[in-house]
Amino acid sequence: MITNSPKFVPGGAGRSLRAGGFGTDFNLWSENSRGLLSVVEHPIDAGILGPPHVHSREDQTSYVIEGQVDMLVGEETFRRPPGSYVFKPRGIPHTFWNPGGLPARREAEPAGGFAWLTAACPEASRR
């Protein structure tokens, strides 16, 4: 249900998926922002590649929270330290990875959100 009220999500309270050194923490669902965006965090172990993919319905902005996260967007590679942003337009293949020796985290904010993931990932559970 789409709401029109403030939403507070304390750290560690979102739904979470983990697989092979890569995670997705669902912190804000599109239903909480009138369908405008979602906010997810991706913890990434050292040496792990995120799955290459394309968003057909939403543009996406990524922010590196900690560690080193490299991103391939179309044909362009970005080496991003903490505090960096990258905008990825819909329809452009992209992926990201942790080239460092320490864990990294990035935040992704897809415009329009990930409402479709609610049904696609029923195994997402509360941490």
- 52-87 per-position pLDDT tens digit: 999 888 889 999 999 999 999 999 999 989 999 999
Of 23 and 116, the one with more pLDDT: 23
What pLDDT does residue 44 have? 94
Closest CA to 57 of 42, 71, 38, 73: 38
Q: Coil, strand, or helix at residue 89?
A: coil
Contact 44, 106 (CB under 8 A): yes
Average the pLDDT over 7-32 and give the result.
Answer: 82
Cβ atoms within 10 Å, residue 17: 15
Residue 94, pLDDT > 90, answer yes
What pLDDT does residue 127 have? 36
Reported as type and span, the H/E element at residue 117 is helix 115-120
Pick the CATH number of 16-120 from 3.40.50.2300, 3.40.190.10, 1.10.540.10, 2.60.120.10: 2.60.120.10
Q: Can you give the residue ranges of every domain in the chain? A: 16-120
Of all residues in the chain, the percent with pLDDT exceeding 70 is 83
Closest CA to 25 of 38, 42, 8: 42
Residues paired with 125 in a beta bridge? 16
What pLDDT does residue 48 have? 93
Q: What is the pTM of this model?
A: 0.78
Ramachandran region, residue 21 (left: φ > 0; alpha: ψ -120 to 50; beta: rest): left
Q: Coil, strand, or helix at residue 119?
A: helix
Average the pLDDT over 107-124 and give the result.
Answer: 60
Residue 119, pLDDT > 60, answer no
What pLDDT does residue 126 have? 38
Q: Coil, strand, or helix at residue 124?
A: coil
DSSP assigned state of 50: P
